[in-house]
Amino acid sequence: MPRAATSSDVFNAVAEPQRRAILDFLATDERPVGDLVKALGLSQPSVSKHLRVLRQLDLVRARRDGRRVLYRTNAGAIRPLHEWAGTFERFWSQQLRRIKERAESTHRESRR
Amino acid sequence: MPRAATSSDVFNAVAEPQRRAILDFLATDERPVGDLVKALGLSQPSVSKHLRVLRQLDLVRARRDGRRVLYRTNAGAIRPLHEWAGTFERFWSQQLRRIKERAESTHRESRR
DNA sequence: GAATCATATGCCAATACGGGAATATGTCAA
DNA sequence: TTGACATATTCCCGTATTGGCATATGATTC
């Protein structure tokens, strides 16, 4: 079995750095494809292909405006990722607490 | 250019569902490989290969205990993912606010 | 309708994948 | 040392990938 398709879920879709760059770029405003081509320095076909993957997962939404197509990020579709990663939050903060405690006790040691 | 290697960054590593399952399973306690094999229903070689990818990115840490090797999740390595996704939080909550407002105004309409 | 601008799709190459089976390495116990 | 147990590595296969280039589709203007 090969790797899951990039368009199979959000995790696979955002594994590609250029697609994350696209989501970042389209987060605040809607933009035509041409703007992305300029901003990312990729070829126009490459950008269109990335947008297709993102559109299939509803990570971006498109709207036609004359001869251009305006895209924008649909932030809500990124939530599942944030939530999954968030389930580990209590573990890493626990770890940070332990490190801090150890640092403090070392500090006390050195003052003796 | 092919897809980036699974071991190239955290985003690619956690794109694989079985690897996320491993991270979930090892989040609370350290466990030997055999436990993972039982819990995930995967072959032992498959599990070892997934663990290798995760270890290369410091997403899990290993410790030998006799003939077994105990693994545990290093939650801190998941933070970058949580933080990237978190940059979109203000956008999706904005969207939710807009939806709520619209629902309320519709409610007022219908009461007139 | 023809020319033009903006975007999408098709085909190609090289590459890395995940799973299975077989085998290698490492550790303990008798 | 030999055997048994636990884990890691190697080899193979079918598959989906990203990016480049050429080309198709869609919309506008003349």
> pLDDT tens digits for B56-104?
999 999 999 999 999 999 999 999 999 999 999 999 998 878 887 777 7
Q: What is the residue extent of each domain of chain A? A: 10-83
- Residue the block writes with tokens 């003939």: B67
Sign of the torsion angle spanned by Cα atoms B51, B52, B55, B59: negative
CATH topology classification for B10-83: Arc Repressor Mutant, subunit A (1.10.10)
| Nearest amino-acid residue to C13, taking CA and C1' | B1
Q: How far is the CA of A59 from the C1' of D26 (A)?
A: 24
> pLDDT tens digits for A86-108?
999 999 998 878 887 777 776 55
Residue A80 half-sphere exposure toward CB, CA atoms < 13 A: 12
> What is the spatial distance between Cα B18 and Cα A76, in angstroms, rounded to a whole number?
24
Read out DSSP for B44-103? HHHHHHHHHHHHHTTSEEEEEETTEEEEEE-GGGGHHHHHHHHTTHHHHHHHHHHHHHHH
Q: Which residue of B has its CA nearest to A20?
A: B84
